């Protein structure tokens, strides 16, 4: 296990399915070794899937979101 996935601790999620995101927008928080790290979108587009549940452990290289890039 590398860390723990949080859609957003103690607040509404950063993104939901259908949310349009810009490159660099925060998608979630990954907690690793008591440090909270923001994961940012690598591309602009629309969130199509969230592949992991809030509070679940994550592994290195695991896909967390599917984003349909803007055309």
What confidence tier does 10 reach under pLDDT thresholds 50, 70, 90? confident
User: What pLDDT is recorded for position 3?
Assistant: 95
Q: What is the pTM of this model?
A: 0.89
Measured CA to CA, the distance from residue 19 to residue 67 in angstroms comes to: 9
Domain ranges of the chain: 3-69
In this structure, are residues 6 and 37 in contact, taking their beta carbons and an 8 Å threshold? no
Measured CA to CA, the distance from residue 71 to residue 63 in angstroms comes to: 22
User: What pLDDT is recorded for position 71?
Assistant: 81
The residue assigned the tokens 């290195």 is: 60
Phi, psi of 30 (to 5 degrees): -115, 120
Nearest to 46 by CA among 22, 14, 10, 12: 22
Fold category of 3-69 in CATH: OB fold (Dihydrolipoamide Acetyltransferase, E2P) (2.40.50)
Each residue's pLDDT tens digit, 12-70: 999 999 999 999 999 999 999 999 999 999 999 999 999 999 999 999 999 999 999 99
């Amino acid at each position: 296990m590398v860390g723990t996935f949080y859609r957003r601790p103690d607040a509404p999620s950063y993104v939901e399915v259908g949310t349009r995101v810009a490159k660099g927008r925060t998608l979630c928080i990954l907690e690793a070794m008591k440090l909270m790290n923001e994961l940012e979108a690598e591309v602009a587009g629309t969130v199509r899937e969230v592949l992991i549940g809030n509070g679940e452990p994550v592994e290195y290289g695991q896909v967390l979101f599917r984003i349909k890039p803007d055309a």
